[in-house]
Amino acid sequence: MSAAKPSQALILLVDDDIDLRGILHRFLERSGFSVATAGNGREALERLEIQHVDLLLTDLMMPEISGIELIQTVRRTNLLIPIIAMSADADLRNDRSLELAALAGAQVVLEKPFAMNRLIRELHRLLAAPEIP
């Protein structure tokens, strides 16, 4: 199976901040991606059970199931899906969440706020990478 072309890729965007989720959703769609959304890790896992996605873009600090728990759960069943984790002000809180996300299996970690062009570059890079056999 080959990697999805970015223009055909379905991204699952997971963030409990409804405003940011809406902004990212619109930006990603305008950038040519298809986007499904979830408000927390539980909703994301439910969506993943019924729908194939090409990339997971998740916040880390969320109610019910955190982004770290989401990444760990996804990695137990799907080693191939690219994952981008994002979190706000990790350095200011002396928070290791981005480091933990990388250890859990996120290929890219982004500290909010991040440049949207960096997000797009990372999405294209991850979606263009050949899948591991």
For the chain, domain boundaries: 6-128
Fold of 6-128: Rossmann fold (3.40.50)
pLDDT at position 129, please? Answer: 65
Residue 105 confidence (pLDDT) above 60 = yes
Q: What are phi and psi of 5, to 5 degrees?
A: -70, 140
pLDDT in tens, 54-94: 999 999 999 889 999 999 999 999 888 999 999 885 554 55
Residue 107 confidence (pLDDT) above 80 = yes
Which pair of tokens denotes residue 58?
């998740």
Residue 131 confidence (pLDDT) above 70 = no
Residue 113 confidence (pLDDT) above 90 = no
21 in Cβ contact with 27 (< 8 Å): no
- pTM metric for this prediction: 0.88
Q: Which distant-in-sequence residues (6+ apart) come within 8 Å of 64 by Cβ?
A: 40, 41, 42
Average pLDDT value for residue range 101-120: 93
Of the two residues 133 and 68, the one the predictor is more confident about is 68
pLDDT at position 7, please? Answer: 59
Confidence grade of residue 96 (pLDDT, cut at 50, 70, 90)? confident
**Residue 113 gets which letter from DSSP?**
S
Confidence grade of residue 95 (pLDDT, cut at 50, 70, 90)? low
How many other CB atoms are there within 10 angstroms of residue 66's CB atom?
A: 20
Annotate 78-93 with DSSP letters as a single string: -SSS-EEEEEE-TTTT
Give the C-alpha separation, 121 to 117, whole Å: 6
pLDDT in tens, 3-52: 555 557 999 999 999 999 999 999 999 999 999 999 999 999 999 999 99
